[in-house]
Structure 1
Amino acid sequence: MKATDYKLQISKFIKAKREKVFEAWVQPELMKKWGCPKELTIGEIELDFRVGGKYRTTMLRDEETYIACGEYKEIIMNEKLVFSHGWEGPDREDTLVTVIFSDKGEGTEVLLTHEKLSSDSSMEGHKEGWISTLENLELQFL
């Protein structure tokens, strides 16, 4: 399979208004509370929230540091975010993440698609990470 063949999609219902859920993705002080898998903690977050702007998130576990970075490709306020995603370092793989925010009942459906992954193991690892991260997001609104 080519890198473009590996894609994952996850959906999560968050019991909060769409505008509040969207805001949690774009405000560094809010992202620090949830923006990584449960086994990690956020170190620093840098966001230049505009199309063409870059972001950089440092995640920590024991003595290890992971840095996710990328660029915002499309922003539709309170509806959609599209950004490149890669792990800082020599083996960086640029992938693409699309997040759609939709009203659903008394909350928001978050549909996350992560594509252009290089392998099945990369796809599975990112899937586990995103599921855990979205569970952290849900906890912010309980």
Structure 2
Amino acid sequence: MSSQSTVTLTMAKAFNVQAEKVFEAWITPSLMKKWLFTMEMTNKVAKSEAKIGGEWEIVDHREGKDYRAIGEYRVLDAPNKIVKTFRMPQFSDTEDVITITIESTNSGSNMTFIQKIIVPHEENWTEEDIDKTCREYHDSTKAGWEMMFAGLKQLVETGNIQYPEF
């Protein structure tokens, strides 16, 4: 049996702005810092070397801990497509692949987001354990991106994000 599974998460989001604005929010550090992962006040690092083979990084600081997300750009086809890797080395050695496609529409643009999520297996897992864990990875990842995409939409459409009160 394989020591890992791959789960595909596919999401879509419509924006009332041109594709270029959405594309820029994915690759521009000052914009990434505002919406990617949590929020501007907790993101202490946002880097992006927006070229094929270039690296990106976000470090979010919450509850006394740093959460680091890193990756490499594989495809940059402005303003239509981004393919990049995604890793959180503090949790595992796995590397997901994220594909973002952005299409222009009459009223703005539509974004399709696909993440190939690698789910590592633990020794002696049953098929039931694997299925349950794959669902959990999918659902928790989706919930996180839904929150981030709400912020992304506010940012590109209004220039600001209304963060929830804590």
TM-score by length of 2: 0.77
Match of 2:136 in 1: 121
- Provide the identity percentage: 24
User: SS at the partner of 2:12?
Assistant: strand
Contact 1:37 1:130 in 2 (8 A): no
Partners of 2:14 and 2:109 within 8 A in 1: yes
Higher relative contact order (CA 8 A, sep 6+): 1
Query: Does residue 101 in structure 1 map to residue 120 in structure 2?
Result: no
In structure 1, stretches of 5+ residues that fail to align are none
Paired letter, 1:138? K
| CA–CA separation in structure 2 for the residues paired with 1:127 and 1:72 | 22
Which residue is equivalent to 2:21?
Answer: 20
Aligned length: 140
2:146 pairs, out of 131, 139, 142, with 131
Whether contact under 8 Å (1:42, 1:57) holds in the other structure is yes
- 1:3 equivalenced with 2:5 (yes/no): yes
Q: Secondary structure at the match of 1:74?
A: strand
CA distance in 2, matches of 1:57, 1:90: 15
Q: Deviations over 1:96-133 (max 9, x none)?
A: 00000011231111110001421332222211111111
Flag the structure with higher strand content.
Answer: 1
The answer on whether the counterparts of 1:16 and 1:107 sit within 8 Å (CA) in structure 2 is yes
Q: Is the 8 A contact 2:67 2:90 kept in 1?
A: no
Distance (Å, rounded) in 1 between the aligned partners of 2:151 and 2:118: 23
Q: State the distance in 2 between where 1:19 and 1:52 align.
A: 21
Q: Which amino acid aligns with 2:18?
A: K
The AA in structure 2 aligned to 1:54 is E
Q: What residue ranges of structure 2 are gaps of 5+ in the alignment?
A: 120-133, 159-166
Which secondary structure does the structure 1 equivalent of 2:87 belong to?
strand
Q: Could you tell me how far apart the structure 2 residues matched to 1:117 and 1:128 are?
A: 17
Deviations 1:31-82 (CA, angstroms, capped at 9, x unpaired): 11111246x8321111111111111111122223211111111111100000
**Does the Cα contact within 8 Å between 1:117 and 1:123 map onto a contact in 2?**
no
Residues 35 and 148 in structure 2, CA contact (< 8 A), matched pair in contact too: yes
CA distance in 2: counterparts of 1:36 and 1:15, whole angstroms = 22
| Distance (Å, rounded) in 2 between the aligned partners of 1:103 and 1:90 | 36
Q: Find the aligned partners of 1:108 and 1:81 in 2 and give their Cα distance.
A: 15
